[in-house]
Amino acid sequence: APMAGVADTSFREICRAMGAEYTVSEMVSAKALCYEQMGRKSAPVRTAGLANITTAESPMAIQLFGREPEYMAEAARLIESGAYRGARQEQPPAAIDINMGCPVQKVVSNGEGSALMKEPQQAAAIVRAVKAAVRLPVTVKIRAGYSNDARNAPEFARMMEDAGAELICVHGRTRQQMYMPGSDNGIIAAVKRAVSVPVIGNGDLNSAADVQRMLLAFPTRGEAERARRALSSVLSEAER
């Protein structure tokens, strides 16, 4: 799973070399990317570099965060075009991933990241705006819920699918849990039952045995292989 300050180019290239199906960028602020384009040409460009894509890490999705549909849509449009200040894309992006799972206070305090799980209508408006702005597949990263008393991931995921999301990644913890031990594979399985799009499970996957335990939580045998084929279909669509 992507993480700011960790999942950089070197990390992603290693993941691909070790067999990862695809990679995802660190979080890119939609508003910061848009503001950079409006600044003086002599002004430094910092945010755009986070969306750079090398051949070795492709196929790769660019993960955006924000809460204003208009900025999210414009940032997605810029990234798809590859025509913006600071762009250095050896390969086009495979998808636009929308972050609705980051638990960090400075993100949540702006109503972004996992805070959007408290505002499903706003979250759906973001997905619709991004979907209307680009031809790329649009995916969403969520958590089990915002708090332990509001574990709304299945219902939330259904709304994101209805808004146009083509894949959903679920971290099995709430925002309240942050990164405490105890990711819930059951909530990931519940999301899969609630939607028809591919679902990626995330949380406490530190070994092959951890992955096997997560797969056993899914509703039916063969679910992992079907999800893998569906993911391949989404990525193939992005290449057309």
> What residues act catalytically?
102
**Residue 217: burial class (beta carbons within 10 Å; 0-12, 13-18, 19+):** middle
As a whole number of angstroms, the distance between CA 131 and CA 62 comes to 14
Q: Count the neighbouring beta carbons within 10 Å of the beta carbon of residue 212.
A: 10
Q: Are 218 and 189 in contact (CB under 8 A)?
A: yes
147 phi and psi angles, rounded to 5 deg: -130, 170
Report the SS3 class of residue 235.
helix
**Position 184: which residue type?**
D
In single-letter form, the type of residue at position 14 comes to: I
CB atoms within 10 A of CB 49: 12
Q: Closest Cα partner for 86 from 130, 47, 121?
A: 47
Cα gap 68→89, rounded to integer Å: 25
Pick the closest to residue 189 from 220, 165, 152 (CA basis).
Answer: 220
- 52 closest CA partner among 93, 13, 22, 20: 93
